[in-house]
Amino acid sequence: MLHLIGDVQGCLGALQRLLADIDFSPSRGRLVMLGDLVNRGPASLGVLKLLAGFEGAATCLLGNHDLHLLAVAHGVRPLHKGDTFQDVLDSPEREACLQWLRQQKLAHLESGWLCVHAGVAPSWSAEQTLALAAEVQALLRGDDLPAFLQVMYGNEPRRWADELAGDERVRFVVNALTRMRFCSADGTLDLKTKEGAAAAPEGLLPWFELPGRKSAGQPIAFGHWSTLGLVNRPELLAIDTGCVWGGALTAVRVDGGRREVVQVACAQAQRPG
């Protein structure tokens, strides 16, 4: 069985209950975690240790909060007021957890589903998405991680061109895969608006609604967008259902042509920020 699971954000108790509800066992099941494993919830360290223990039975994508943890741990960014991953930073297992996190992916294809944390740039095919994700993954696993983390932040460029190179290329790929929600008609990313699709500012559309999107027809699953809520379409799954904000943690079984949604309520409710 293959289950895709939305943003956990340190909510270990909800994740444990969800895994029990889907009867997950690493000996006979597979998980794809859609990113934002840590932060905001109470037990980031516990989530990382649990998932790392599943080894090959779990593929974990990196979200913006996971990258933020790496940046803070390497002295590139300061802790934010709402950050709750101090348990990782203070742990004797800190280095093992950070090394494990560096080995995770930004995009993954399994059972016909292209899985990302936030989105796919409208001008990218599924194949290009995986190739660009692999470029960034190599930097994450390389010898000069702090240098990569330094150039990762920023909102420019906001539109993809195949000619992009160096820091600009890396930054756009990271922003598309871990931060994007809305785009303009020409594929320019809007990285500020966080409301749901119904509240889109004039001239913006959810990235997956853009006409002519190259990845159209490719089943895509993503998280990141809690205000969007559950979207369950034949070729699109949005499954960040706001666990850490008092919503639910969602798993979707997608293998063998079967679609099954399982949700657990989360007792850990934080204020968005």
CATH number for the domain whose boundaries are 2-265: 3.60.21.10
The pTM (predicted TM-score) of the whole model is 0.96
Alpha carbon distance 146, 83 (integer Å): 20
Return the domain boundaries, the chain.
2-265
What pLDDT was estimated at residue 268?
A: 61
5, 34 Cβ separation under 8 angstroms: yes
CA distances for 124 relative to 27, 182, 207, 253, angstroms: 35, 15, 12, 26
Q: Is 90 exceeded by the pLDDT of residue 174?
A: yes
- Give 204-249 pLDDT, tens digit per residue: 999 999 999 999 999 999 999 999 999 999 999 999 999 999 999 9
The pLDDT of residue 258 is 79
What is the SS3 assignment for 49? helix
Q: Do 247 and 270 form a contact (C-beta atoms < 8 A)?
A: no
Average pLDDT over residues 49-76: 97
| DSSP string for 73-112 | HTTSSPPPTT---HHHHTSTTHHHHHHHHHT-BSEEEETT
Q: How many Å apart are CA 178 and CA 251, to the nearest integer?
A: 19
Mean pLDDT, the chain, integer: 95
Give the confidence band of 155 by pLDDT, cuts at 50, 70, 90: very high
Q: What are phi and psi of 113, to 5 degrees?
A: -105, 125
Q: How confident is residue 53, by pLDDT bands cut at 50, 70 and 90?
A: very high
> Please, which pLDDT band fits residue 270 given cuts at 50, 70 and 90?
very low
